[in-house]
Amino acid sequence: MSDLSLILTALGSIALLLFLVMKVRLHAVVSLILVSMLAGLFSGMNPADIADTIQKGMGGTLGFVAVVVALGAMFGRVMEETGALDQIAHTLLHRFGHNKAHWAMTLTGFICALPLFFDVAVVLLIGIAFAIVRRGGGSVVKIGIALLAGIATCQAFLIPAPGPILVASQLNADFGYMIIFGLIASIPAMILGGPLFGTLIAKKVHVELPEHAQSDSDQREGNGVPSFALSFGIVIFPLLLIGLKTIVARFIDDTSSLHAWLALIGHPFTAILIACLTAFYLLGVKRGIPGNRVMEICGSALQPAGVIILVTGAGGVFKQVLIDSGVGSALGNMLSDSGLPLVILAFILAAAVRVIQGSATVAMLTACGIITPMLAPLNLDGAQLAAITIAIGGGAIVFSHVNDSGFWLANRYLGLTEKQTLQTWTLMETIIGTCGGLTALLISFFL
């Protein structure tokens, strides 16, 4: 098939998917798998390969997401049922005030997401947002979007967040300039996309606190309420473990046994597992809650987590079909001859890949792979390459929709409909990404 035909097939698939989930009201899992099959057929894939691609997409996505969401759900539920999250929420509200709780959540998401993958950060921190809503700190949309904006901004522009650091290392961008430019891009982006946009859109979109996040704050498990220091310490514990691996391991020989141990301890699987066990003991057993009751609390967290896991996996199926059909390569061929400035080209290329296949990380790496050959003859310095990296990060998070696992995480955790998710999450991501792209363009004028 021609490049244009592949791109039109991808766009048609996205339109059909939106129609099925928003108008026909077909379940998201069924819609995603059905449209994935049709997209594979109409893009010219061998019918015999489509089932393998579906399996690859589901397995590749759930291999990471299933473990993280399941462990994170149990961790969050124990924190919630023992009153630890409410203690954190109460302290934040006391320090910032009810009127500024959304600012506190944006800052919390921005800082805590530094060493994490997006999914991990959402799973670990969303419970604090729910606790703040229960405490009267604002609506689900206002507080939820504020938190997600902080996480998304960090993941797009700051190192050592996984996506930016991967692209910066592949482009040989200067890490010092990456930190400076990342902060310059992040501050206006997260303010506009988080507290300001969240406050505005919450006036139009209102949802009740999801059933899985509702609890009676007057009936807590265990003896008394855990202290803020203990509660906050348990939340940031897995972040510290992952950060230790992300930062310290860079200064150690990667063939050493210490590097290998850091890689294991700092992996999200291990970090959240250790955090779970720590919470089970310090918040549960040590405070008088029987072990079997702690396990009952964990079991109650897995049912809503199962829905999130399945929908996210189905989104991975659609993404994989679009990748295997060659749409990314077709897009690169079409844009490479446009003659646009490199910063603008990097942004548009990452945005186009993002819209078509969903994953922000894949969009970053795809754009990086396509644009790298164009950079070779230009002899750009580390600062100029850092600006291009920021532009790629901005383009890679705009227009998130039904083929993005983040879309479905926001949809399920916040209890939104698909239309409401487009009105809130998608617009928030687009504001942040566009702001980052414009900042990168302005920076490039001075380099």
Geometric angle at alpha carbon 61, from 58 and 63, rounded to 5°: 100
Q: What is the pLDDT of residue 147?
A: 93
Say if residue 422's pLDDT is above 90. Answer: yes
Return d(Cα 264, Cα 80) in angstroms, integer. 28
Of 160 and 264, more confident: 264
Of 328 and 189, more confident: 189
Return d(Cα 447, Cα 445) in angstroms, integer. 6
Return d(Cα 210, Cα 434) in angstroms, integer. 30
Q: How confident is the model at residue 350 (pLDDT cuts 50, 70, 90)?
A: confident
Q: Name, in order, each residue with C-beta under 8 angstroms of 287's C-beta and a sequence gap of 6 or more.
A: 82, 221, 222, 223, 224, 226
* Chain position carrying tokens 């390459």: 385
Which two tokens mark 279? 């919470």
Which two tokens mark 186? 């992040």
Q: What is the per-residue pLDDT across 360-384, written as a single tens digit (0 to 9) for each?
A: 876 787 677 667 767 767 778 878 8
Q: How confident is the model at residue 217 (pLDDT cuts 50, 70, 90)?
A: very low
* Chain position carrying tokens 């940031």: 236
The radius of gyration of the chain's CA atoms, rounded to the nearest angstrom, is 22
Q: How confident is the model at residue 433 (pLDDT cuts 50, 70, 90)?
A: very high
CB 32 within 8 A of CB 315: yes
Return d(Cα 182, Cα 383) in angstroms, integer. 12
Q: Provide the percentage of residues in the chain whose pLDDT is more than 90.
A: 21
Q: What is the pLDDT of residue 214?
A: 63
Which two tokens mark 27? 């379940």
Say if residue 336's pLDDT is above 70. Answer: no
Q: Name, in order, each residue with C-beta under 8 angstroms of 249's C-beta and a sequence gap of 6 or more.
A: 259, 262, 263, 266
Q: What is the pLDDT of residue 160?
A: 65
What's the whole-number mean pLDDT along residues 342-350?
A: 88
Name the nearest CA neighbour of 317 among 19, 9, 30, 79: 30
Q: What is the per-residue pLDDT across 248-297, written as a single tens digit (0 to 9) for each?
A: 776 788 788 888 898 888 887 888 899 999 999 998 888 888 888 889 88
Q: What is the pLDDT of residue 373?
A: 66
Which two tokens mark 392? 């790629």
Q: How confident is the model at residue 220 (pLDDT cuts 50, 70, 90)?
A: low
The secondary element (H helix, E strand) that includes residue 87 is helix 84-96
Of 115 and 342, more confident: 342
Q: What is the pLDDT of residue 337?
A: 66
Say if residue 216's pLDDT is above 70. Answer: no
Most confident segment among 114-123, 132-141, 319-328? 132-141
Return d(Cα 271, Cα 85) in angstroms, integer. 19
Name the nearest CA neighbour of 417 among 133, 128, 142, 210: 210
Say if residue 218's pLDDT is above 60. Answer: no
Geometric angle at alpha carbon 258, from 244 and 71, rounded to 5°: 50
Return d(Cα 34, Cα 14) in angstroms, integer. 12
CB 116 within 8 A of CB 242: yes
Would you give the DSSP letter of residue 339? -
Which two tokens mark 191? 């303010």
Q: What is the pLDDT of residue 16?
A: 86
Q: What is the pLDDT of residue 204?
A: 92
